[in-house]
Amino acid sequence: MSGFRFAFCIAAAALSVILALEATAIVQNPVQNRPIDPFGLEVNVGAKTIIYVEGTANWNTAFEALTEAFKTLAEYLSKEGVKANGPSMTIYTSTDDIGFQFQAAVPIPRTPPNPPPNGVAIGRSPAGRALKFVHRGSYDAMDNTYEAITNYLDEKQLDTQDLFIEEYVTDLLKTPEPNLIINVLVPLK
């Protein structure tokens, strides 16, 4: 075999391996975190006035349960003419292997003139020191993010509160699910 043919065969083989690896990466991770995304960045979270809906859901229907809660809040705020004063958030107040309890919340600049309907309440969001992590991609892919967060917390031996917050950088109701950007805030003790 001539040197040219040998080099061509090696280059072709290398190119096919590279293309196969890139195709696999694209299929496995359609949206990846960016190097600028914080992972474990300590932040100070300020309390905000929120309007919220409490709920319970299982992990298999989490996205549907949350979007329904946020639709309820959006309808009420639209009717009252109140605009959000920051990104929507889910405050997970209790979790286990089967499901979770939550508050789907929207920060508001002022209390609406008319009292909220049954199932909707006004309160304050959690405040204090927290660790910030970023998730990019579908809600179903959040398992990988939470596993990485758990590993990070275990490795650093950090003491956290028994709740966590998802802050939706992109609109949970309007953004295609693969394009979601979610800040996960883990309050510290």
Note the pLDDT tens digit of each residue in 13-57.
333 333 333 433 333 344 455 667 889 999 999 999 999 999 999
* Residue 78 clears pLDDT 90, i.e. is over it: yes
Helix runs in the chain, H state only? 3-28, 62-80, 142-156
Predicted pLDDT of residue 34: 65
- Evaluated on CA atoms 104, 106, 107, 109, the torsion sign reads negative
Instruction: Report which of 70, 43, 47, 67 is spatially closest to residue 134, judged by C-alpha positions.
Output: 43
Q: Lowest-confidence range among 2-6, 34-38, 127-131?
A: 2-6
Predicted pLDDT of residue 32: 55
Predicted pLDDT of residue 123: 96
Predicted pLDDT of residue 111: 87
User: Span 102-127, mean pLDDT?
Assistant: 94
* Residue 178 clears pLDDT 70, i.e. is over it: yes
Q: Do 23 and 113 meet the contact criterion of CB atoms below 8 Å apart?
A: no
Q: Structural domain boundaries of the chain?
A: 1-30, 39-187
Predicted pLDDT of residue 33: 56
Predicted pLDDT of residue 103: 98
Q: How far, rounded to the nearest angstrom, does the alpha carbon of residue 112 sit from its chain's CA centroid?
A: 27
Note the pLDDT tens digit of each residue in 180-189.
999 999 999 9
* Residue 67 clears pLDDT 80, i.e. is over it: yes
Q: Which CATH architecture has domain 39-187?
A: Alpha-Beta Barrel (3.20)
C-alpha pair distances (Å), 49 with each of 31, 54, 93, 122, 164: 32, 15, 17, 7, 18
Average pLDDT, the chain: 84
User: Span 127-137, mean pLDDT?
Assistant: 96
